[in-house]
Amino acid sequence: MFEGKIWWITGASSGIGAALAEALSAKGAKLILSGRNEAALAEVKARCNSDALVLPFEATDLAALPRIVEQAWAWGGRVDALVNNAGISQRSLAVDTAWEVYRRIIDVDLMAPIALTQAVLPRMVAAGGGHLVAISSVAGIVGAPLRAAYSAAKAGILAYHDSVRAETTHQGMKVLVVAPGSVQTNVSKNALDGAANVRGFSDTAIDNGIPADVAASRIVEALESGQRELILAEGMELQGALLRRANPDQLFDVMAGLMASGYAKKLGAE
């Protein structure tokens, strides 16, 4: 599954992507590391103990995808696994959010990974199969406050990969959808506010979340055990994701109560 296999990770310059690169490298995987920050990708490569190709690109530059996919495939003659991890988040009330924010987040978090998967999937199927790993979010399951655009994109990522799994399992494809809750990354600091500005500061929940290396280890364990979905969360976030499927009306009441209690003010979103 890992030894000598080529794993392509987007959003590999930091956070879950960087931690997963190191975890996969420790298992003997070869890596293709993608993102926009070439210098940061090079630093991740230096921390890995296996062959790695730094392949920077802008996720929304769809015209460049054929060339990028050719470079990735040519490096080792194949791609055995693709991890759709790149993305940006949001911290703003829907009523105060500019259309530009929706367009940017949907483009980066949903359309770009779908486009990359569509470019790689036929080759993977023709080669006898492989792995797809999609980093969705608990927000894509519960519809989290202050994350309307992000929740919509991550729900789409979950649904798209579920469909691909249904269509391609018999062709040798294995699909794992990961729905993280709070993980110690820069996701909140780099989130967009309602005017499409970078927020610039983090949340307490994120700062106290699951360490990125622990999250990566749990993803690797899920892959090894053949899981098809991993809710990578703890406490209320885990319970919320489970409640969405068991008793959605109760969850809706909990979320409404959360907002009524001043949740937005606590996050500095109003």
3-state secondary structure the chain: CCCCCEEEECCCCCHHHHHHHHHHHHCCCEEEECCCCHHHHHHHHHHCCCCEEECCCCCCCHHHHHHHHHHHHHHHCCCCEEEECCCCCECECHHHCCHHHHHHHHHHHHHHHHHHHHHHHHHHHHCCCEEEEEECCCHHHHCCCCEHHHHHHHHHHHHHHHHHHHHHHHHCEEEEEEEECCECCCCCCCCECCCCCECCCCCHHHHCCECHHHHHHHHHHHHHHCCCEEEECCHHHHHHHHHHHHCHHHHHHHHHHHHHCCHHHHCCCC
In DSSP terms, 90 is beta-bridged to 192
Active-site residue set: 150
CA–CA distance, 248 with 255 (Å, rounded to integer) = 10
Contact at 8 Å (CB) between 153 and 105? yes
**Residue 157 — left, alpha, or beta (φ > 0 → left; ψ -120 to 50 → alpha)?**
alpha
Is residue 133 within 8 A of residue 178, CB to CB? The reply is yes
